[in-house]
A and B are shown apart, each in its own frame.
Chain A
Amino acid sequence: MASVCFYFQVHQPYRLRRYSVFDSDPYYFDEYKNAEIMRKVAGKCYLPANQLMLDLIRRHNGQFRISYSITGVTIDQFALYCPEVLDSFRRLADTGCVEFLAETFYHSLAFLYSRDEFREQVVSQAAKIQEVFGYQPSVFRNTELVYNNDLAHYVEGLGYRVILGEGADHVLGSRSPDYVYTPHGADHIRLLLKNYRLSDDIAFRFSNRQWKEWPLTAEKFAGWVNQVNGNGYIVNLFMDYETLGEHQWEDTGIFEFMRRLPDLVLEHPDNNFMTVSEAAGACEPVGTVDVPHMVSWADVERDLSAWLGNAMQSNALHEVYRLEKQVKDSGDPQVLHDWRRLQISDHFYYMCTKWFADGDVHKYFNPYESPYDSYINFMNVLDNLRQRLRR
């Protein structure tokens, strides 16, 4: 029995505008650029991919089932800049074959700095999902799959039944991600771990001609899924939704691949597709996984170094969370909303200096010329926020 569990992450940050030390107005975000990028990605990814998923769901009469997590800031931006995307997600929800997860509304690292703020962001995300899709999510994933035992325990306390994590080698050892696990120290919350090999085959390697498995056909991939039979129960394919059309452009054949994959997977009578809740309930947990230190799904290291790898990132994060009490005491909703948008993890991702000289994936999506520019920009904005609090 191999149950393929697709979970797609949907997120667009609020990018900052160029803000120098001489600027003093309280408008921090580049609305024009954010709108432009959102519409571009909607055209290349969200709309065609949603349509594809709808087609597949209808074609397979409920057998094709998938999951999404859409951050609150992304839902807000859909409403502002391209409401038709939100409509298409609602149509997906209406099929009954699609599950939506909970996470932090602002795609933040709040869990590392303030449990209270973290809880508030999770509650508002859940409320948003209720408002848009009509139900309370029961599965949780943290920003960029940042995970450890403490998180699992805390999230269980918030009432969630399932939590997602990265199936990194230093987490699983020789064990396989194709089973359900229990977090160490938790009572009944279930843990689903990403199968990073198969997930990254689609998300990263799909168009890489130097890869020995290129081209990745739906037949080949379905064959790999079949091999899980007898060696596991679930195939956790967790990835960014923008893989379909934005990270992997249409001309790589990614849409064709997705279109044909369900047919080929379902050819084998023991295979099926499941949402994350269903996958977590498909079998009993086979053991506990002990993750004392933070892991994530980012970069090769699968740790926090993408956001906390240098002194600038550490300083920026520290400074932004230091303002929590003042911000909340001020009672100013605009200040609160601005402060929360400054917690979006992307701001700190752009400050990463790992392999900066090699021009790697961090640089591709970076609106700044250098990580130093992003730090300077962020700190100038934070300074202005601090000044608003003093008044």
Chain B
Amino acid sequence: MRVLMLGWEFPPFISGGLGTACYGLTRAMSDDGVEVIFVLPHAVPSHYATHVRLVTPSAAAQPGSLRQVIAQTGLPSYRVDEMENVTFVPVPIAATPYDTEQTYAERLRQLAVVEELLEGQPAEVDDEVTSGAVCPAEGTMTGQYGRDLMTEIHRYAQLLMGLGPRLDFDLIHAHDWMTYPAALAVAGMTGKPLVVHVHSTEFDRSGERVNQRVYDIERAGMHGASQVIAVSNLTRNICVARYGVPPEKVTVVYNSVSMNGSPVQEGPVSFSRDERLVLFLGRITMQKGPEYFVAAAKKVLEKMQNVKFVMAGNGDMFRRVIELAADLGIGHRILFTGFLRGDDVEKVFRMADLFVMPSVSEPFGLVPLEAISQGVPVIISKQSGVSEVITHALKVDFWDINEMANKIIAVLRHAPLRETLKKHAHFEIRKFSWRDASRACLKVYERAKVTV
């Protein structure tokens, strides 16, 4: 079984759950012997990739093997040691999975500025989309990218239409809406079955004020695919109710969490230990409910003094949330760390007494599982996919800031509650494995092959 996977991100360039999920799933599939051609929209600069081996096109390979197929196309590609059945094919796409029109435009401007500094001449943004060739075009770097997000998505589709017929695979697996036009294009050209994987929908990201064009792409992807995978029942219900997908076409495959198995380390902390620390970790955007966290913090601080709140992350509401905290008079009690990655994430988990995820609409929610694996008790919004699968967590409606504060105070005050939650949850998350998720996907693949 060889899968053409249209995925996102790769450690250490992960900016959210989507990358983590793609990574975990792909690795489990590789361990199970599934061959994966992973189309990665973002080239990995070589000086970051100590565990990456670049494959030269002339490397000796078995006829018909994945290596040989890629080698024949002349594409730049690479492999990593931990995933022996996966070949990564980077494509120059400037979009990232959490983009809006604004963030994409901003990134293009930044790229142009960088290029101007490097090249010493003003850059131009090309109005026409490159077609056919899959190697980066000569000349300007920024020139090749579409000038707005939708154009870039469609440029991606065209790139893949050039790429697709030159590869040999059994099935296409596309993650989230930005890959759908490309996936549909390749499926149409090659006649191979398509499975789309819904990690989030426009309703999760934007509430009721959805972007119609994004909605249309999502809908087209779900209907054009042979099978749909959703990361939770919450998401599945949205696909059925808001996108009109027949329920028998949608299968729930829950995400998992990767644990390295080492015990929770105690590290040096800069707060005095009398002070409790409540953590919010995630993008500071509407979907994640940051203002509910701040409002609950205010209520907690009315009853307890020796507690600090930390918001780790960045996003379009960053400035607004800082101002909100200041307006409520608790600016000195909330710390904003900006985006954290790698070891810093582990460090902040070690310092935290409690993790809160007040998401307004969370398709799954990997971060609470990571918090639990680091020995932190969690409070999660009931409006999340992960609340369907863990029982040893405190659950609250995202809007119910009184109850949220009630539960925060209870956890901070009562060590038996903290310890019982920690212990039971840490044991409970052992039931998650990417292996199970990978096998569930393989079952969906079987159904997809039959449907086509």
Residue numbers of A with Cβ under 8 A of B are 20-22, 310-312, 314-316, 353, 356-357, 369-370, 372-373, 375-376, 379-380
Q: B391–A21 contact, CB under 8 A? A: no
| Residue among B299, B406, B415 with the highest chain A CB neighbour number at 10 A | B406
Picked from A314, A356, A375, A376, the residue with its CB within 8 Å of the CB of B391 is: A356
Residues on B with beta carbons closer than 8 Å to the beta carbon of A353 = 392, 420, 424
Q: State whether B416 touches A356 (Cβ < 8 A).
A: no
Residue of B nearest to A353 (CB): B424
Kindly state the separation between the CA atoms of A312 and B418 in the bound complex, as whole angstroms.
9
Please state if A312 and B406 are interface contacts (CB–CB under 8 Å). no
Q: CA of A380 to CA of B405 in the docked complex: distance in angstroms?
A: 13
Interface secondary structure of B, over-half rule? helix
Question: Residues of B at under 8 Å CB distance from A?
Answer: 299, 303, 391-392, 394-395, 402-403, 405-407, 409-410, 413-417, 419-421, 424, 428
The answer to whether A357 and B428 touch across the interface, beta carbons within 8 angstroms, is: yes
Contact between B402 and A375 (Cβ–Cβ < 8 Å)? no
Selected A-B contacts with CB under 8 Å, 8 pairs: A22-B406, A312-B420, A369-B395, A372-B421, A376-B414, A376-B417, A380-B406, A380-B410
Whether A370 and B416, one on each chain, are in contact in the complex, defined by CB atoms closer than 8 angstroms, is no
Q: In whole angstroms, how far apart are the Cα atoms of A310 and B395 in the complex?
A: 20
Name the contact of A21 in the complex, choosing from B394, B406, B424 (C-beta under 8 A): B406
Q: Which residues of A contact B424 (CB under 8 A)?
A: 353, 356
Residues of the B chain whose Cβ atoms lie less than 8 Å from the Cβ of A310: 416, 420
Instruction: Tell me, rounded to whole Å, the shortest Cβ–Cβ distance linking A349 to chain B.
Output: 15
Asked whether, in the complex, the Cβ of A314 is within 8 Å of the Cβ of B416, the reply is: yes
Are B391 and A20 in contact, with the CB atoms below 8 A? no
Closest to B418 in A: A311
Of chain B, the residue at the smallest CB distance from A358 is: B391
Query: With A and B bound together, what is the CA distance between A357 and B303 in angstroms?
Result: 32
**Which B residues are CB-close (under 8 A) to A380?**
406, 410
A306 to B415, CA, bound (A): 20
Complex CA gap A380/B413 in Å reads: 11
User: B409's contact among A21, A357, A372, by CB below 8 Å, is which?
Assistant: A21
| Chain A residues, CB < 8 A from B391 | 356-357, 370
**Alpha-carbon distance between A315 and B410 when the two chains are bound, in angstroms:** 13
**Across the interface, do A22 and B402 meet the contact criterion of CB distance under 8 Å?**
yes
Which chain A residues border B407 with CB–CB below 8 Å?
Answer: 376
Q: Do A315 and B395 have beta carbons less than 8 Å apart?
A: no
Interchain CB contact under 8 A, B416 and A372: no
Residues in B neighbouring A373, C-beta threshold 8 A? 394
In the complex, are the beta carbons of A20 and B406 less than 8 A apart?
A: yes
List of A residues within 8 angstroms of B392 by Cβ: 353, 356-357, 372
Docked Cα-Cα span, A311 to B424, in Å, equals: 11
Q: A357-B391, A370-B394 are in contact. Are A311 and B416 (CB under 8 A)?
A: yes
Q: How many Å lie between the Cα of A315 and that of B415 in the bound state?
A: 9
Q: Are the CB atoms of A376 and B410 closer together than 8 Å?
A: yes
The winner among A21, A310, A370 for most chain B CB atoms within 10 A is: A21
Chain A nearest CB: distance from B279 CB in Å?
19
With A370-B394, A370-B395, A372-B394 known to touch, is A21 a contact of B410 (CB < 8 Å)?
A: yes
Determine the chain A residues whose CB is within 8 A of the CB of B409 once the complex forms. Answer: 21
CB distance from A380 to the nearest CB of B (A): 7
Q: How far is the CB of A375 from the nearest CB of chain B, in Å? A: 6
Chain A contacts of B420 at CB under 8 A?
310-312, 353, 372
The 10 closest A-B pairs by CB, nearest first: A311-B416, A315-B416, A20-B406, A376-B410, A357-B391, A312-B416, A21-B409, A21-B406, A310-B420, A312-B420
> In whole angstroms, what is the CA distance A357 to B378 when docked?
16
Q: Which residues of B contact A375 (CB under 8 A)?
A: 410, 414, 416-417
Minimum C-beta distance from A69 to chain B (A):
32
Contact A20 B403 (CB under 8 A): yes
- How many Å from the CB of A347 to the closest CB on chain B? 15
Please give me the residue from chain B that is nearest to A314 by CB atom: B416
Which A residues lie within 8 Å of B402 (CB)?
20, 22
- Roughly how many angstroms separate A375 CA and B424 CA in the complex, as a whole number? 15
Least distance between A367 CB and chain B CB atoms (Å): 16
**With a CB–CB cut-off of 8 A, which chain B residues contact A376?**
406-407, 410, 414, 417
| Separation of A119 and B206 alpha carbons in the complex (Å) | 63
Contact A311 B406 (CB under 8 A): no
- Residue pair A21, B416 in contact (C-beta under 8 Å): no
Q: How far is the CB of A10 from chain B (nearest CB, A)?
A: 32
Say whether B414 contacts A315, CB under 8 Å.
yes
The smallest beta-carbon distance between B418 and chain A, in angstroms, is 9
> Hey, which chain A residues are within 8 Å of B403, CB to CB?
20
Set of chain A residues within 8 Å of B303, measured between Cβ atoms: 21-22
Interface contact A379-B419, CB-CB below 8 Å: no
A380 vs B303: C-alpha distance when bound (angstroms): 13
Bound-state Cα–Cα, A311 to B377, Å: 15
B336 to chain A, nearest CB (A): 26
Interface centre among A375, A376, A379 (most CB of B within 10 A): A376
Separation of A283 and B410 alpha carbons in the complex (Å): 55
CB distance from A294 to the nearest CB of B (A): 21
Expressed in whole angstroms, the minimum distance between the Cβ of B127 and any Cβ of chain A is 57
> Knowing that A21-B303, A376-B407 are A-B contacts, what are 4 other residue pairs whose CB atoms are under 8 Å apart, sorted by A's residue number?
A315-B414, A356-B391, A379-B413, A379-B417
Instruction: Report the Cα distance A68→B388, complex, angstroms.
Output: 43
CA gap between A315 and B419 in the complex, in Å: 12
Contacts of B299 in A (CB 8 A): 22
- B412 CB to nearest A CB, Å: 10
How far does the Cβ of A357 sit from chain B's closest Cβ, in whole Å?
Answer: 5
Q: Nearest Cβ distance between residue A353 and chain B, in whole angstroms?
A: 6
- Nearest CB of chain B from residue A94's CB, rounded to whole Å: 49
Residue in A20, A311, A372, A379 whose Cβ sees the most chain B Cβ within 10 Å: A372
Q: Are A379 and B414 in contact (CB under 8 A)?
A: yes
In the bound assembly, the distance between CA atoms of A165 and B134 in angstroms comes to: 81
Instruction: Tell me, rounded to whole Å, the shortest Cβ–Cβ distance linking A224 to chain B.
Output: 39
